Amino acid sequence: MLALAAAATARADGGGEVDIAATLFHEGGGPLNMTVITPSVRGRVDPIEEWGFNLAWNADVVSGASVAVVDAPSPEPDVISTATRLDDFRNVFSAGTEIRSDFATIRAGYAYGFESDYRSHAVSLGARAEAFERTAVFDFSWARGWDSVCDVFQPEANLAVERRRLSSSDGCFSSDTDFGTHDVSLQTFQGSWSQAWARILATQLTVSAQLIEGFQSNPYRAVWLGRSAAQEHHPNDRARYAASLSVRLWIEPLSSALQLMGRIYRDTWDVQSVTAELGYEIVLDGAVRVRARARYYTQTGAAFFSDDYALMPMGQYFTGDRELSAMSTITVGASFGYSVTAGSSGPVLGFMEEFDILLKGDWVHADFPMFHYGMAGVPNVDAAIGTLSLEAHF
C-alpha cells in the first residue's frame, strides 16, 4: 500500500482560501490489488468577517481487483486467482456556509456524490463555541445522508440465499429493467470537548454515534454456502458508537510533546474495537517538526461472521468482508514537517504569507486470524503509506 498526497492553499487579501490536493493510494497482494487516485479542490470566500461560504470537489478514480465469490470451490489451492477487475470514477460536489462571532460559529453544508453504481445526498449542521476564557472549545455536528445503491433486479429471489451478485455496473441508474436500487439512510452525531488545563497540558474528548438503515452489503460479492453462492447478506440496521480521549503534554526543556490517544468502539453487529496510540513530536528551531508514532488496533468479528458458511452457518446473515472478522493492526511511522512564515524581511519567496511541507511514512501490519479465501489466508497484510503534503498561504 502506498499513498502520496500534495496540497496547496492560497489565501486572498479580502478573506478567501483555495486548497488543491491529490492522493495516490496503492494496495498490492498478487491478483488482489487496488489503486485509487483522489484529486480535490476547495475554495472559500469571506465577503465579511462574520460570514463565509465554500465550494469543493473531490473524486476517486478506482482501479483494482477483488474476489467475486468468497470460499468458492476451485481446483487451485486458493480462489484469489479468480479475482475480477473493477474500475470506477466517483465525484462529490459540496457547498457550505458558516456564520461567525468572536466566540462561536454555526455552519451548514450539502454534498452530492455519484459514481456508476452509487448516488448520495448529504446535509450537515454544526456549531462550535469557546468558553472559560477560551481555554475550552465545544463542537457539535449532525449529518444526514440519503444514498442509493445499484443492484440486480431479481424479484423472483424471495430468499437471501437465492440472490445472485451484481457482475457489472453497466446499465445502473438507467431505464434498463435488469437493474434496481436499494436505499440507505445515515445519520451521524458527534460532539467534542477540547480543554487546555495548563500551558503544557491539553485534552480532547470526542463521542460519536452513527445510525445506518438500508442495504449495507457489497452487491458484487458472493459467498459460497455449500451447494451454491449467493450475494452476501448483511442486516439492514446498524448503530455504531465510539468514544476517544487524546492527551497532549508539552515538555518545555525539550521543546517537544508527548501524545496519547485511546478509542473504544462498539456496534449492534457486535463488532467491538480498541485503539491505542503513542506519539512523540519535537520542534527544532521553531520551524521543523519531527514526529514518531505507534498505534495498535484490535477488534472482534461481527456476530454473524463465519470463515466457512458451508460448514458453520451463522443464521440468516452471511458476509465475505474481511473487515467484519476478528482482526488487529500495528502501525509505526514518522513524519517531518517544515514551516516558514512571513517576517520582517517580507513574504516567503516574495509572494507567500506561509509555507508548510510535510513528509510522512507509515508501515502497517494486519492480522486476520479467522478469515481465509478458500484455503488461502489474506495475502495483503503488510502496507506502506507515504504522504507528501505542501501548503501555501498567500
DSSP secondary structure letters along 71-118: T---SSS-SGGG-EEEEEEEEEEEEEEEEE-SSEEEEEEEEEEEETTE
Q: Is the pLDDT of residue 31 over 80?
A: no
> Is pLDDT larger for residue 121 or for residue 32?
121
For residue 355, the model assigns a pLDDT of 77
DSSP 272-293: EEEEEEEEEEEEETTTEEEEEE
What pLDDT sits at residue 11? 41
Amino acid letter for position 234: H
Res 79: pLDDT: 57
The arithmetic mean of pLDDT across residues 94-104, rounded, is 94
Sign of CA dihedral 266, 271, 274, 279: negative
Class of residue 269 by CB neighbours under 10 A (exposed 0-12, middle 13-18, buried 19+):
buried
**Confidence (pLDDT) at 202:** 97
More confident residue, 352 or 282: 282
The pLDDT of residue 287 is above 50: yes
- Residues 164-182 have pLDDT tens digits of 999 888 889 988 788 999 9
Q: Which of 82-86, 188-192, 368-372 has the highest mean pLDDT?
A: 188-192
Task: Give CA separation, 142 vs 116, 130, 307, in Å.
Answer: 28, 19, 36
Pairwise CA distance, residues 320 & 373, whole Å: 9
Q: How confident is the model at residue 331 (pLDDT cuts 50, 70, 90)?
A: very high
What is the band of 77 on the pLDDT scale with cuts at 50, 70, 90? very low
* pTM, 2 dp: 0.88
Confidence (pLDDT) at 231: 94
What pLDDT score was predicted for residue 68? 81
**Bridge partners, 334 (sequence order):** 292, 361
Instruction: Give the Cα separation of 313 and 306 in Å (integer).
Output: 7
Taking alpha carbons only, the member of 52, 56, 34, 32 closest to residue 43 is 56
Please state, in angstroms and rounded to a whole number, the distance separating the CA atoms of residues 158 and 166: 17
Alpha-carbon distance of 20 to 40, in angstroms, equals: 6
- With a cut of 70, say whether residue 345 has pLDDT above it: no
Per the model's pLDDT, the better-predicted residue between 143 and 69 turns out to be 143
Mean pLDDT check: name the lowest of 79-88, 139-148, 171-180. 79-88
pLDDT of residue 348: 61
Listing DSSP states for 168-217 in one string gives --TTTTSS-TTEEEEEEEEEEEEEEEEEEEETTEEEEEEEEEEEEEE--S
> pLDDT tens, 1-30?
444 444 444 444 445 677 877 888 877 777
The gap from C-alpha 125 to its chain's centroid, in whole angstroms, comes to 20
Tell me which of 237 and 21 has the higher pLDDT: 237
pLDDT of residue 38: 82
Paired residues of 335 in beta bridges: 291, 360
Q: What is the pLDDT of residues 302-316, one digit of tens each?
A: 999 999 998 898 889
Instruction: Report the amino acid identity of residue 295.
Output: R
Q: What is the dihedral of CA 84, 33, 90, 190, to 10 degrees?
A: 120
Cα separation, 109 vs 53, in Å, equals: 9
159: exposed, middle or buried (C-beta count within 10 Å: 0-12, 13-18, 19+)? exposed
Long-range contacts of 289-294 (CB under 8 A, 24+ apart): 289/335, 289/336, 289/337, 289/338, 289/339, 290/334, 290/335, 290/336, 290/337, 291/334, 291/335, 291/337, 292/333, 292/334, 293/259, 293/331, 293/332, 293/333, 293/334, 294/330, 294/331, 294/332
pLDDT of residue 8: 40
